[in-house]
Structure 1
Amino acid sequence: MGGLFGFLSFAAFVAFIVGMVKPQIVVFWAQKKSRGPACLYLAATVIFSIIAGIAGGGAPVAPAATSAPSSVSSRVVSAASPAPESTAPISSAAPVSSAPEAKSYPAGMYKIGSDLPAGEYVLISDGISYFQIAKDSTGELGSIIANDNFSGQSIVTVNAGQYLTLNGATAYAIADAPSVEVSSGKLPDGMYKVGRDIKPGEYKVHATNSTAYIEVAKNSTHTLDAIVSNDNFTGDKYITIKDGQYIKLSGAELTLG
């Protein structure tokens, strides 16, 4: 098809040249017409032939092959790479918070029910310490309910309206008090609650000086009527204590067994 249109185009071109030189040969009535109309006719023929050749076209030319892209990512820049999946285990355990520090009451004078809740307290000595429980704040001897010099630790029970004085000691509610150290297998000077600090049973007590003292009490009020038994002794002594009682040692040590 392309060859036919090429031939027609070439023929039209030859006719155009001839028409320009001798138009009477192309148009039989050239003797009666001027050269101008014949030229116009030939020009129209050429233009029509060229348009027909373009419309028909030659054989399609295959586009030049392009090399395959070296990387998909170099062409597609908008596609986001997926985030790497985490392999770390997810913990379902709730966060563990540390236990709050036990509240303590340093040396001073406290009004029970106002400054200090009523209850039982462990007093931790800073050396040689003193405590006093009074029924009022007059400071008179007659207002004293109980008092004591101690080392190590002591235990007291105070009621609302009373006054507690501490010298060289710190008070803790008994539920918050530090545990007694028993790794040595012995209990030194101090006051201990049976069932909390020491198990019920029979124990051997050894005097560490010439003024050793031992006391067993039914509560921690430090009043005379709370005393179950007491003794000043030298050398060794055996004592039996029951659950809920209190044992006080001064100048002596108890062997745990």
Structure 2
Amino acid sequence: MNEIKESLRNIEQSYKIFQQQQFTFIAALEHTRENAHDKIKPVSSIGQVQTYMDHHCNNTTDKRILLMFLNLCSDLSKLCQRLETLHSGNSTTNALLEKCKMLVSHSNDLSAIRAKYPHDVVNHLSCDEARNHYGGVVSLIPIILDCMKEWVAHSEKLPRNMIQSVSGKRGSQERRAAEEACRQGAAGTGLTVSGQPTSLSVATQTSLSLTDTPQESRRVQKKLQVGQGRTIGKLLDGPWKPPGKHSF
């Protein structure tokens, strides 16, 4: 959780720098929308900003500020994926996470969202800009940040036994599946996972259980291991063939 908080703080610091250049951001959108002959519709998605930068951006200043916006959205998307693997959560945290995932989607329509107090990003726009063009795109990042901070606050109130890494669970499941596959494969060849014949392995366990002392157990185990090696060697050598230069 501390790593999540640190990542969130870093994104917030980057956003503060971006926020100070909001007029530059709006000017870049104006220029690129004009080049794209797309000045009637509002800026309604992250993907739309990406298209403006990729295909309709003619100067480095516009490209720099548009790229800063897109990088912030990318960082928020990656953090959202990390939140998803941190713990299974409850209905409240899951609802917040789903909201974050929807907001960071490149195709999500953000034209209707508006950041409210204490955020003042919309207040820096003219009435026409806020209502018809840029109110949603300037509101996106502060709304996502608020949503993620709320997720962290609720997650810290969860019982400690609920804060269990989902990725850790998946890793354990994968290991168990791999071990089970090995056991099934060994059963088909008559060998144990360790490469010993199944029947000999059982015999070893039975013989060891009948001994009285650790020294006798080790002696019996060593003797049986030698016998196992000979038996496996015979199995691998195949059927006996008479000697001779034409034998193979």
Same fold? TM cut 0.5 = no
Q: Which has the higher strand share?
A: 1
Per chain length, whose mean CA-contact separation is higher, i.e. which structure has more relative contact order (CA < 8 Å, sep 6+)? 2
Calculate the TM-score normalised by the size of structure 2: 0.22
